[in-house]
Amino acid sequence: MDLRLQLRLCEDQRRIPHLIRRSIAVAAGCIVNAAGEVLIAQRPEGKIAAGKWEFPGGKIEVGERADQALVRELEEELGVHASAFRPLVRITHDYSDRKVVLDTWLVTAFSGEPHGREQQAFAWVRPERLFDYPLLGADGPIVASLRLPQDYVFTPEGIDEAALVSGLPLLPKGALLRLRQPALSDAAYKALAGRLAPACKRLGLLLMLDRDPAMVAELGAAGWHASAAALSAQTSRPLAEEFWFAASVHNEAELAQAQKAGADFLVVGSVNPTPSHPQGKVLGWSGFAALADQANRPVYAIGGVRPRDREQAFAHYAQGVAGISAYWSVPSSS
C-alpha cells in the first residue's frame, strides 16, 4: 500500500476514538450538614485525576436513573444513605481525554457517618471556601450553585425609594437583588445604588447593578447584571472574578453570548406569560429546561413564576426563581 495512504489511515484511526467518544454520565452529591458545610472527597490513588477533590459520586450504570446512581454511589463510597435530595445543576465538561455529564444533587438529609470506604480523604467545607481545594475542572459551576441563593428579586419599575428601603428587610434572607430602574438617569441610578449598597450589605442581600460595571466595585455591590441588550456588546468578562456576573437570556443565541462573555449565572425566561412582557416569547418549563441543560452554570427561572413554584423549578434544574411582584407588597406592573 502507498506509504502516504497508510500514514493517513493511521492518522484517521487515531482520531476515531475522539469522533465516536461518548460522554460519561455521572451522579454526584453535595451533602450539606447542619452547619451549612459541604462534604468533599479527595480522589484516591489509582483513579483518574487522583489527588483532586470532588463531590462524592460516580458513573450512572446502564438502566439506572441519576437519583438511583446517587444513592448507590454515596453508599458505596461513603457508607451514607441519602434520604432527601434535589437536583442542583447539570454540567457537561470536555476534559481532553473524556467528556462527562454531571448530574449534581443537593443532599439535605442522610443517615450514617461518612467514612472513606475507598481510603479517600474528606473535608466539610463552607461553600465560599471550596476554591481553597483543587477541585476537578468541571466543578466551578457547582461551587457557584452552592454559594448562590434560591431567590433573585428584581425591583419593581418606578418604585419610590422609601418603599424600596422598607421592603428590603422583608425579602428572603441572602437573596440576590437586582436594582432595575430603567427610567432613571445614569447619575440618579448611581446615587440610589450608592445609598442602597450599605443597607443591602447589612441585611445580607446581594445587590446586583445594571449600567456601568465599574460601579460594582466602586459602590461595594455584589455584582453586575447584563440585560440581553447589554450582553450583546459584551465579549469578555466585564468585572473581576470576586464579583458576580449575571445575564438575562431568552434564546440559544443569547445563551451562547452569555457563555462567551463568561457569565457566572443566568436568568432565563419567560417561563410563563406575564402582564409585564405580553409580547415576550413564552418558553414553558420544557423550553426553560432545554436552555438550562445547555447552560453549564446556575440558571434562575423568570416570567410568571413565584417562590411557591420553586420545587417545579428545581425539577427543571433551576437554581431558583427570579421575579418582581411576588416579592414586594407594593403594586407593580408584573
Ligand X SMILES: Nc1nc2c([nH]c(=O)n2[C@@H]2O[C@H](COP(=O)(O)OP(=O)(O)OP(=O)(O)O)[C@@H](O)[C@H]2O)c(=O)[nH]1
| Interface positions with Mg ion (CB under 5 A) | 58
Strands laid side by side in the 38-42 sheet: 53-54, 38-42, 122-125
Amino acid identity at 107: V
Burial of 334 (0-12, 13-18, 19+ CB in 10 A): middle
Shortest Å, Cβ 299 to ligand X: 19
> What is the C-alpha separation between 105 and 228, in angstroms, rounded?
29
> What is the C-alpha separation between 241 and 127, in angstroms, rounded?
16
**Looking at beta carbons only, is 101 or 193 nearer to ligand X?**
101
b (16+ CB within 10 A) / e for 236-254: eebbeeebbbbbbbbeeeb
Q: Which residue is nearest to Mg ion (CB)?
A: 58
Q: Is 26 among the residues that bind ligand X (CB under 6 A)?
A: yes
Alpha carbon 298 to chain centroid, angstroms = 2
b (16+ CB within 10 A) / e for 293-323: eebbbbbbbbbbbebebbeebbebbbbbbbb
Shortest Å, Cβ 58 to ligand X: 2
> What is the C-alpha separation between 271 and 208, in angstroms, rounded?
22
**Looking at beta carbons only, is 13 or 96 nearer to ligand X?**
96
**Looking at beta carbons only, is 107 or 258 nearer to Mg ion?**
107
Q: Is 106 among the residues that bind ligand X (CB under 6 A)?
A: no
Shortest Å, Cβ 55 to ligand X: 4
> What is the C-alpha separation between 142 and 121, in angstroms, rounded?
20
With CB under 6 A as the contact rule, the residue among 8, 18, 59, 173 that binds ligand X is: 59
Give the number of residues in contact with ligand X, rule: CB under 6 A. Answer: 20
Which parts of 79-185 fold into alpha helices (H)?
140-147, 161-167
Q: Which residue is nearest to ligand X (CB)?
A: 58
With CB under 6 A as the contact rule, the residue among 70, 102, 206, 292 that binds ligand X is: 102
Binding pattern to ligand X, positions 27-46, x when CB under 6 A?
A: -x------------------
- 107 to 34, 47, 145, 149, 273: CA distances (angstroms): 12, 24, 13, 16, 33
Positions 71 through 90 that interact with ligand X (CB under 6 A): 73
Q: Is 103 among the residues that bind ligand X (CB under 6 A)?
A: no
Shortest Å, Cβ 97 to ligand X: 9
55 is in an annotated binding site: yes
Positions 110 through 169 that interact with ligand X (CB under 6 A): 136, 138-139
* CA nearest neighbour of 154 among 209, 215, 218: 209
**Looking at beta carbons only, is 65 or 306 nearer to ligand X?**
65
Q: Is 177 among the residues that bind ligand X (CB under 6 A)?
A: no
**Looking at beta carbons only, is 140 or 262 nearer to ligand X?**
140
43 is in an annotated binding site: yes
* CA nearest neighbour of 224 among 241, 203, 243, 201: 243
**Looking at beta carbons only, is 139 or 254 nearer to ligand X?**
139
Residues that bind ligand X (CB under 6 A): 24, 26, 28, 47-49, 54-59, 73, 93, 98, 100, 102, 136, 138-139
